[in-house]
Amino acid sequence: MNVTQVSYFTLAAYFDTGDFKYLYFLIVSSLYIFIIFANVLPVVAIYKSRSLHEPMYMFLCSLFVNGLHGSTGLFPFLLLQILSDVHVISAPFCFLQIFFVYTYGSTEFLNLAVMSYDRYLAICHPLQYNTRMTVQKVAVFVAVTWSVVFLVNFVTLPLIVRLQLCGNVIHKVYCDNHSIVKLSCSDTTLNNIYGLFVSAFSVFGPLVVIVYTYMKIFKVCFSGSKQTRQKAVSTCTPHLASLLNFSFGACFEILQSRFDMNSLPNMLRIFLSLYFLTCPPLFNPVMYGLNLSKIRVACKSLMLNEAC
């Protein structure tokens, strides 16, 4: 096998679009601008409105900021690649993009797990909610979520860098850890073991919390009053929609990385591989904005004040 010191990677999923690349650039850049606007607006509105300084809205801020974090790791590079005729990425930037993508995915799932716990307390223990979910506890939850995720995924980088690679072609439009490991000619046992640990931490752990809390919520709903059921539906619907939306994209990305899906059209595979990085940051602020009247009012008030 030809072991080389790789200084760049070729992203083979891109294809020649001819003059249509300017149209694609316009569409993607418009999408990126809208994602930035849709996520920044509610964060600023929540920050400026003291009536929204409540646990649920603080967790939403963390969710929206993470959407900006994931989008920043993808869109600027994607826009450059659309206009470029040579689809390559330097090794250091590739590893940086992996860090952005994986911290985004882990933080998204942990945010959703913490939000499900918050809804569990609000619905199942309403009288104790204010004492069990204080502003200080919210700050600890958010800080621990982000710091632990960054630390856990930072350890992944030296594990990737140490690998000896026998190729530099990645069959995707962005870099990911699994693609680099598949190119390795050296022992990847440590990478695989640590990958299982990261998966358990960022997927299975949050999933257990989400399943447990919703089992408790559904139990209360079925045995509770009509008012309790209405409260559960109004507060849990956007959360469940966000969870299903992100889970769909993440599941497809995992399946695509580990199984051959060449039977699918190339454009469809590219779209689905980008789904979990693009649709949740686009979907979450719209979903919560439509379902939570306080956010709608705060955003409208902010825009009117800025216009004046």
Residue 16 lies in a domain: yes
Residue 223 lies in a domain: yes
pLDDT digits (tens, 9 = 90+) for 173-191: 899 888 898 888 888 889 8
For the segment 50-69, the average pLDDT, to the nearest whole number, is: 92
Sign of CA dihedral 236, 240, 246, 247: positive
Residue 53 is encoded by which pair of tokens?
Answer: 């300084």
pLDDT given for residue 5 in this prediction:
66
Closest CA to 95 of 188, 180, 197: 180
For residue 153, give its domain range.
8-307
For the segment 34-47, the average pLDDT, to the nearest whole number, is: 93
pLDDT given for residue 1 in this prediction:
42
C-beta of residue 73 within 8 angstroms of C-beta of residue 104 = yes
Residue 64 lies in a domain: yes
Q: How many domains does the chain have?
A: 1
Residue 2 lies in a domain: no
Residue 159 lies in a domain: yes
Q: What is the mean pLDDT of the chain?
A: 87
pLDDT given for residue 290 in this prediction:
74
Burial class (CB in 10 A: 0-12, 13-18, 19+), 18: exposed
Q: What is the CATH number of the domain that holds 14?
A: 1.20.1070.10
Give the residue with greater pLDDT, 224 vs 208. 208
Strand order in the sheet with 8-11: 88-90, 8-11, 169-170
Percent of the chain with pLDDT strictly greater than 70:
96
Q: List all residues 6 or more positions away from 210 whose beta carbon is below 8 Å from its beta carbon.
A: 112, 113, 116, 243
- pLDDT value at 3 more than 50: no
Residue 210 lies in a domain: yes
Residue 3 lies in a domain: no
Percent of the chain with pLDDT strictly greater than 90:
41
Residue 281 lies in a domain: yes
Closest CA to 298 of 18, 41, 69, 126: 41
pLDDT digits (tens, 9 = 90+) for 106-134: 999 999 999 999 999 988 888 899 899 98
Nearest-5° Cα angle at 49, 36 to 132: 100
C-beta of residue 111 within 8 angstroms of C-beta of residue 38 = no
